[in-house]
Amino acid sequence: MTGKTHSAVTRRFGIGLVALALVATACTSGDAETQSSADPAETEAEAAELSITPEAGSEEIAPNTPIRVSAERGAITDVQVDQAVVTEAAVEGEGDEGDLYAMTGTLNEDGSEWISDWNLRPGAEVVVTATAENEAGEETELTTEFTTLDATPGQRLELVSNFPSSGDTVGVGMPVVINFDLPVTNKAQVENSMNVVAEQETAGAWNWITDQMAVFRPEEYWEPYQNVTVDLNLAGVEASEGVYGVTNYQIDFEIGRELIATMHVPDHEMVIEVDGEQERLIEVSNGAANRHFDTTSTGTHVLMERYEHLTMDSATVGIPEDDPGSYLVDVQYAVRTSNSGEFVHEASYNTNIGSANTSNGCTNLRMDDARWFFENTLMGDVLDTTGTDREFEFDNGWGYWQKSWDEWLEGSETGEPQMTTDGTPGSVHGEDL
């Protein structure tokens, strides 16, 4: 039995009672008489009494109902929760590792109450076994069984995509991006179901970019060279009325070295620093700035997807073929920095690299520099750009660092930071605790 790391830990109490024999003596001259009360006082401790809710035999309990274990005349020493899925809806997650569904709980200070940390799996037979000890160390055990409500087909919250993926090594600016298949209205409960754990403690928070996209960002860039785990405890969470998650997920990724690229657009160069030391100086040509579209945006960009070969077509960003500003060009070594069409890429055709800004808004590089940039940067690396009058929007690609920490925290449904070593800040259940 374990508890959320930010809450009370499991405590085990056993207090032995010892009967003390008290002996009194008195002496007199002459007819002396000794009196003694040597009989031990015997005290028998009452057995601990346990109760569990939901009650035994309950059927179709809402999956976001907490399990509560209470003890009188004793302290809870162990709680085991077994969830065996028995319906078609629930078996979708059955192939996952069992550890993903191991139930933990939080024990109060005196060991008299335990509450489950996470929700229950829909369509499951649940067996709860609790143990408590009285003051004499004698154990009491109680087992109850009940079933949970199934998740309705078409109303099961599913994970559509996530960035990064397990096994990725990413840069220090990497957000955690979660995309769902259905809109989420109970955002606080879902936020609290998504626990981010990092080796180096930092504060972070989730924001809802849309009703189907949640993004986690730390207060400052991740510390380099550490592992991060995201536990998506979605099984049983009620995302909106009657819509339940059915599957838990775990994402494990690594933060690599710290690479920060900076550009002051009028200078026609990019400076690359790795772990605080300058690694490379690259000559560039940025947007001509004849209009809003071909102005390179100022702000903190996070490197996104990359293509060894890419056909850049202005029609994909809303500029039709017959428009004076249209283009159709094949490039190599393209790394995306926004969703509005900005890339860092090879542009051997541009003779103004290093001397003038003449691109359609992208950052143009010579072939050798473009290949180096492509091969030596990671998704999640940072590109800081200054010197233009076009402000990078926070929801354009991964522009989430455009918001200050206070602004970002205001966008969290819980309104509280999540410490990456302490667990989520609030309840995942469907009732106030």
Those residues with Cβ within 8 angstroms of residue 255's Cβ, 6 or more apart along the chain or in another chain: 169, 170, 171, 172, 174, 222, 223, 224, 225, 226, 227, 228, 380
Q: Which helix (H) or strand (E) holds 375?
A: helix 367-376
10, 88, 232, 299, 380 from 403: Cα distances, Å: 39, 43, 25, 10, 17
Amino acid at 368: D
Those residues with Cβ within 8 angstroms of residue 368's Cβ, 6 or more apart along the chain or in another chain: none
- Tokens 């039709």 correspond to 320
Instruction: State the Cα–Cα distance between residues 151 and 75, nearest whole angstrom.
Output: 35
Instruction: State the Cα–Cα distance between residues 256 and 249, nearest whole angstrom.
Output: 23
Tokens standing for 271?
A: 């400076």
Q: 345 catalytic, yes or no?
A: yes
Question: CB–CB of 67/52 below 8 Å?
Answer: yes
Strand partners, 198: 228
Helix, coil or strand: residue 125:
strand
Instruction: State the Cα–Cα distance between residues 96 and 86, nearest whole angstrom.
Output: 15
Catalytic residue among 268, 301, 362, 429: 362
242: region left, alpha or beta (phi > 0 left; psi from -120 to 50 alpha): left
Neighbour-count burial for 38-69, b at 16+ CB within 10 Å, e otherwise? eeeeeeebebbebebbbeeeeeebbbbbbbbb
Helix, coil or strand: residue 185:
coil
Residue 406: exposed, middle, or buried by beta-carbon count in 10 A (0-12, 13-18, 19+)? exposed
Q: 429 catalytic, yes or no?
A: no
What φ, ψ does residue 19 adopt, rounded to 5°? -85, 125
Amino acid at 269: E
Tokens standing for 392?
A: 């990078």
30: region left, alpha or beta (phi > 0 left; psi from -120 to 50 alpha): left
Q: Which helix (H) or strand (E) holds 239?
A: strand 238-240
Catalytic residue among 6, 268, 309, 345: 345
- Tokens 């096994």 correspond to 167
SS (H, E, C) 385-396: EECCCCECCCCC
User: Residue 339's CB: how many other CB atoms inside 10 A?
Assistant: 14
Catalytic residues: 345, 362
